Amino acid sequence: MSNVILHGKSFKPFIPNAKIESVIDSVAARLNEDYKNAQQPPMLLCVLNGAIMFTAGLLKRLNFPLEVVSMKLSSYTGTQSTGNVLEVMGLTGDVTGRDVIVCEDIVDTGNTVMALREMLIAKGARSAKICTMLLKPDVFKSRTNLDYVGIEIPNDFIVGYGLDFDELGRNLPDIYVLDK
């Protein structure tokens, strides 16, 4: 793995694909155990665009019946969070009475996923569990715990494996960190 340049900024290798795949194996095993006897198939909610690769990785490993829905939220401009959550594309399915597993690429402050959890419950979801590939515990502000966490990382700006820098870098199989 060598550095990559996106929009004139250099990113250095941070988490290799083999580690990411191992983490997804672990998260999928926990989900498989928790949902193996579900009365009704849960809904797996992919938060676009960042969680596409993580969600796809989970889908290949999950062995219980489920439905997949998506929605798109935004709270970043460049390398900084704006602090405001914008719903770019609404929910693609009805969550009424359903257990929803929210698949996120990364959680930092937690504001976005907690707002999303509240929105899903307000729309009638029976439950809304948060499943994230990455967590930045140093900036996580929520009093509510996340349900499934892959890897805890420092509060650095990263790209790759679905995460972007102004829409570039999502297709990288590894994760890279901004090289300061």
Per-residue CA distances from 3 to 6, 9, 154, 158 (Å)? 10, 10, 19, 12
- To the question of domain 14-71+94-156 being in CATH 3.40.50.1820, the answer is no
Would you give the DSSP letter of residue 81?
E
Distance separating alpha carbons of residues 138 and 153, to the nearest angstrom: 9
pLDDT, one tens digit per residue, over 155-169 is 999 999 999 999 999
pLDDT, one tens digit per residue, over 34-46 is 999 999 999 999 9
How confident is residue 87, by pLDDT bands cut at 50, 70 and 90? Answer: low
Residue 105 is a catalytic residue: no
**Residue of 108, 147, 166, 174 marked active site:** 108
Where in the chain are the domains? 14-71+94-156
User: Residue 138, SS3?
Assistant: coil
Choose among 122, 98, 110, 114: nearest CA to 155.
110
Secondary structure E strands in 78-180: 80-89, 99-107, 127-135, 148-152, 158-159, 175-178
Distance separating alpha carbons of residues 169 and 164, to the nearest angstrom: 5
Q: If 0-12 CB within 10 Å is exposed, 13-18 middle and 19+ buried, where does residue 13 land?
A: middle
pTM above 0.85, yes or no: yes
Distance separating alpha carbons of residues 101 and 118, to the nearest angstrom: 13
- CB of 69 within 8 A of CB of 91? yes
